[in-house]
Amino acid sequence: MPQLTNRQMKAQQTKQRILVTALSLFSQKGYDNVTVDEIVSTSGASKGAFYGHFNSKYEIFLEKFKEIDNFYIHIEEELKNISTAEEKIVQLALRQMDYLKEELGDELMRTLYINALTPDAHNFLADRNRSLYVIIEQILKEGQTSGELDPAFNSNEITLIISRCMRGTLFDSFIFTEKIDLDKEIEQMLRLIFSGLKMSHQ
């Protein structure tokens, strides 16, 4: 790490102050009910400082999300005793959902999805190197080796499809007004992908 000058240290403090204040306000009042002006005045900073450190109001909350990706550090360990790939992926998905719900809550998740759709914004969901992808693909490959899953599939493509259908489920949970039981829906969807719709011709 490079030696920071006094100035840079102060700047980092300002950034941190803004970040902490903002996240606290978000969780108190909800993302949409917090204005940048409010963040700035509460944290004793200025617009200039804010936009010097963050490119947008949305980006500030990406910081939180980065931190959340730490979730995946532990998860691999926890999945070790599960025997089938299907079960592993179902468990991975369910735990992830719970974690996100708890850490971010509904409204911030929705915000994340909205902003993923706005062009140019740093896009977290679309980062193919996300731990999520790495883990899913790993599990799939193991399943193929063990004979559980059809080795004809390209594990990379399937990884993308699975995560995509998970995004679809999240998306639906936001757009349907009837509250959706996310756990149930995710599991149902995954089981379907593993078993298929067709009659098994045994």
- Binding residues for DNA (CB under 7 A): 5-8, 10-11, 13-15, 34-37, 44-49, 51-53, 55-58
Among 113, 129, 133, 135, binds its own copies (CB under 8 A): 113
Measured CA to CA in angstroms, residue 144 lies from 81, 84, 149 at distances of: 18, 11, 5
Q: Which residues contact 184 (CB under 8 A, 6 or more apart)?
A: none
Does the footprint of its own copies cover residue 137 (CB under 8 A)?
no
Separation of alpha carbons 31 and 107, rounded Å: 7
Amino acid at 69: D
**Assigned token pair, 4:** 């920071």
Separation between Cα atoms, residue 31 and residue 153, nearest integer Å: 41
Min dist CB 40 to DNA, Å, is 7
- DSSP secondary structure, 100-141, as one string: HHHHTHHHHHHHHHHHHHSTTS--STT-TT-HHHHHHHHHHH
Q: Could you say which residues in the range 24-83 bind its own copies, by CB under 8 A? A: none
- Which of its own copies, DNA, none sits in contact with 6, Cβ below 5 to 8 A by type? DNA
Least Cβ distance, residue 62 to DNA (angstroms):
12
By the rule CB under 8 A, 194 interacts with its own copies: yes
Which residue has tokens 């970040």?
A: 19
Q: Which is nearer to its own copies, 23 or 149 (CB)?
A: 149
- Least Cβ distance, residue 40 to its own copies (angstroms): 25
> Residue 88's binding partner, choosing from DNA, its own copies, none, with beta-carbon cut-off 5 to 8 A by kind?
none
Is residue 165 within the footprint of its own copies (CB under 8 A)?
A: yes
